[in-house]
Amino acid sequence: MMTLPSHHSGHRCQRGMTLIEILVAIVVLSIGLLGLAGLQLKGLQVNQGSTYRWQAAVLAEDIADRIRADKAGATAGSYAVTGGVTSSSATGGTLATIQEWLARVATLPAGTASIAATPGGPANSMTITVTWVDSRAKAGVADSSAGATGSYVLTTQLWD
């Protein structure tokens, strides 16, 4: 004869999860997913900023190489650029080179550039500065008054 398990009054077998446990698990999971989404967004913003820095470095190296190739124009001061305004001694091919380069700098967000002889440096060295607005990478920074500009400065000796 087979006996059935007896159920004592007042004792119930608990099976499965309660609704409260499920709701708590959903809340914890939601908070984790929101944190992951925020991390992904911040990564995209920083990645964009690094792309701008890379472009600025390539542009600065490019104009430095062009200046090295035109020693006569460089010694005449033709490559001086201040606030996007070229030197009055820049003419012909030198002026075209500078204007084409400045147009490429302008592809950065609010991109500007300056080229000047290095103060206190040797006569054959120049400082090339490329500046842009980097508001996406700076978004979310606690101190937003710090400014949202990025800049790349290259100081190079043009020739020996």
Residues near 68 by beta carbon (within 8 Å), at least 6 away in sequence? 74, 158, 159
Place of tokens 């908070």: 31
Place of tokens 């460089």: 74
Enter the pTM of the model. Answer: 0.69
- C-alpha dihedral sign at 44, 45, 49, 55: positive
Strands lying side by side in the sheet with 149-157: 85-86, 81-82, 112-117, 125-133, 149-157
pLDDT confidence of residue 144: 46
The rounded distance, in Å, linking the Cα atoms of 84 and 112 is: 6
pLDDT confidence of residue 2: 61
* Residue pair 138/42 in contact by the 8 Å Cβ criterion: no
Q: Is 157 helix (H, G, I), strand (E, B) or coil?
A: strand
pLDDT confidence of residue 90: 72
Burial of 136 (0-12, 13-18, 19+ CB in 10 A): middle
For 35-48, the pLDDT digits (tens) are 999 999 888 888 88
Low-confidence ranges of the chain (pLDDT < 70): 1-16, 119-121, 136-147
pLDDT confidence of residue 37: 95
Q: Is 58 helix (H, G, I), strand (E, B) or coil?
A: helix
End-to-end CA distance of the chain: 107
pLDDT confidence of residue 70: 86
